[in-house]
Amino acid sequence: MSSPAPAPLRIGCAAGFSGDRTDAAGPVVDALVAAGGPSFLIFETLAERTLALAQLARRVDPDRGYEPLLDELLRPVLARCLANGIRIVSNFGAANPRGAARRIAALAAELGVAAPRIAVVEGDDVGAAEQRPLLREALRGSADLEAVVSTMVCANAYLGADAIADALLAGADIVVTGRVADPSLTVGPALAHFGWRRDDWDRLARATMAGHLLECGAQVTGGYYADPGYKDVPGLARVGYPIAEIDADGHCTIAKPPGTGGRIDAHTVKEQLLYEVHDPAAYLTPDVVADLSEARVVELGPDRVRVEGVRGHPRPATLKVNVFCERGWLAEGEISYAGPRAEARARLAADVLRERLGALAPLRVDLIGVASILGDDAGAYLSARAPGEGRDVRLRVAALHADKATAERLAREVTALYTCGPAGGGGVRTALRQRLSTHSCFVPRDGVTARFAMMGTA
């Protein structure tokens, strides 16, 4: 008689970006507690741009720079996770992992629970002066190297799972990171739990794809999927967030908490499996090169899908670094026209703005309700469409300018359409936002030192 398979490792994901629902974790934690066995809760809250915004926030206030919704995300579930041995791993440290760790320690104290062991993972920040030569070398060949260096807001390497796993093996209840590759939030717990070798490429690749499926939260459970009449999703308003059951070989089954809305089937899983993938034979992460070209998905039953056939190859010799730079100001303005000849009036308003502002900056024009987001900044898509009879059209214009005052003027010109533009325009909204540009490059792995530190419990 064969012995029963060991209990799987369960990893639930309760956030897929900064700004995700803050009530997602409750049902996930309920399900993890009910299942028993080893389990983790992860929050992925650090999109490309989020970290640069966090860095700007930290400039204003050195205590900030971590996930602004940290309290809202953790408060509902922190005590229950700690009481049930559910460990938490998240990149919500953003630009200030130590600040986040201090806040979590304070939150635990407020909740009256025993102080958790909190580890921070550091080393992703490669923007310091002593690493400038490394960055310059990596950016060599980019035309605007000096401009990039002089306007840099931050530079962060995508760290892998090793330091997360090390922190967990050292006994951390909570691991707070800055920039790590999103799937590494899942690979770290799997590495620590199963004790795989760190060159066990197939298992690392399978766990990486489990992490890839989890990292956008509800995007694998029916979120971002529904298309009425074609792709129907029950209970979308209470969509459940995913739980991956990972076996000792790294294979995963995607499930969600009972009683929640959403849908998990072969199709929802395939969509997310290919999300943000380029060559499926070489999905690059700091941990492994995953090959999903032969992957299969198997529907095991209602809302349960297993992924098989993922293989791995040795990890890349370099780490990806994103450099963010200040890039002036984005000015946007909108005004609506409705009723007879609305589209003609909106088009005239666009012509007025082009004539008055065209010399200041390239102006993007959208006619929302006629042609907008499928179009291009240069306007080829819009100009290829003959004027029509749109009866509910919102004009939007956008432009970028290095000078804030000029950008403000661009936005004001839209407001002036109230009295100076075509008849019947209403509902003006304008916005001015600081713009950041991204430059990606690659640095040698040994130029970056990922490490963890266990925070004091005082």
Partner 1 sequence: MTSRTVPLYRAAHGRTGDKGNRSNISVIAWHPALWPLLVEQVTEARVAAQFAHRRPSRVTRHLLPNLEAMNFVLDDVLDGGVNDALNLDSHGKALAFLLLDLDITVPEALARHLVGAEPDSFPPEPWRHA
Contact between 95 and partner 1 (CB under 8 A)? no
- Specify the stretch interacting with partner 1 by CB under 8 A; choose among 109-117, 118-126, 129-137, 359-367: 359-367
Give the single-character DSSP code of 152.
Answer: E
Q: In the chain, count of helices (H) and strands (E)? A: 15, 18
Comparison of 62 and 234: residue with beta carbon closer to partner 1? 234
Site string for partner 1, 167-206 (x = CB under 8 A): ----------------------------------------
Distance CA(154)–CA(137), nearest Å, equals 16
Contact between 258 and partner 1 (CB under 8 A)? no
Query: 364, 407, 411, 452: which one contacts partner 1 (CB under 8 A)?
Result: 364
For tokens 């920040």, what's the residue? Answer: 125
The helix/strand/coil state of 441 is: strand
Query: 128, 302, 386, 419: which one contacts partner 1 (CB under 8 A)?
Result: 302
Query: 295, 393, 411, 448: which one contacts partner 1 (CB under 8 A)?
Result: 295
User: What part of residues 118-157 is at the interface with partner 1 (CB under 8 A)?
Assistant: none
List CB contacts of 333: < 8 A, sequence separation 6 or more. Answer: 396, 397, 398, 410, 411, 413, 414, 415, 428, 429, 430, 431
The distance of closest approach from Cβ of residue 96 to partner 1 in the complex, given in angstroms and rounded to an integer, is: 21
CB atoms within 10 A of CB 135: 23
- Specify the stretch interacting with partner 1 by CB under 8 A; choose among 186-194, 264-272, 404-412, 420-428: 264-272
Contact between 110 and partner 1 (CB under 8 A)? no
List CB contacts of 441: < 8 A, sequence separation 6 or more. Answer: 135, 138, 139, 142, 320, 321, 323
Contact between 278 and partner 1 (CB under 8 A)? yes
The distance of closest approach from Cβ of residue 385 to partner 1 in the complex, given in angstroms and rounded to an integer, is: 10
CB atoms within 10 A of CB 53: 20
List CB contacts of 272: < 8 A, sequence separation 6 or more. Answer: 212, 213, 216, 219, 220
Site string for partner 1, 327-356 (x = CB under 8 A): x--x--------------------------
Query: 63, 110, 144, 279: which one contacts partner 1 (CB under 8 A)?
Result: 279
The distance of closest approach from Cβ of residue 204 to partner 1 in the complex, given in angstroms and rounded to an integer, is: 21
Helix locations, 84-183, DSSP H: 97-111, 132-139, 145-150, 162-169
Distance CA(26)–CA(439), nearest Å, equals 37
Distance CA(178)–CA(419), nearest Å, equals 49
Comparison of 75 and 442: residue with beta carbon closer to partner 1? 442
Contact between 442 and partner 1 (CB under 8 A)? no
The distance of closest approach from Cβ of residue 8 to partner 1 in the complex, given in angstroms and rounded to an integer, is: 21
The distance of closest approach from Cβ of residue 84 to partner 1 in the complex, given in angstroms and rounded to an integer, is: 30
- Specify the stretch interacting with partner 1 by CB under 8 A; choose among 106-114, 168-176, 202-210, 371-379: 371-379
Kindly state the number of chain residues that form the binding site for partner 1, as judged by CB under 8 A: 60
CB 238 within 8 A of CB 184: no
Contact between 226 and partner 1 (CB under 8 A)? no
CB 180 within 8 A of CB 121: yes
CB 207 within 8 A of CB 186: yes
What amino acid occupies position 425?
G
Contact between 294 and partner 1 (CB under 8 A)? yes
Query: 88, 185, 252, 399: which one contacts partner 1 (CB under 8 A)?
Result: 399
Contact between 17 and partner 1 (CB under 8 A)? no
Cα–Cα distances in angstroms (integers) from residue 298 to residues 61, 243, 294, 407, 447, in the given order: 49, 16, 13, 53, 41
Which residues here bind partner 1, judged by CB under 8 A?
A: 48-49, 224-225, 227, 229-232, 234, 263, 265, 267, 270-281, 292-297, 299, 301-302, 309, 324, 327, 330, 362, 364, 366, 372-378, 380-381, 384, 396, 398-400, 435-438, 440
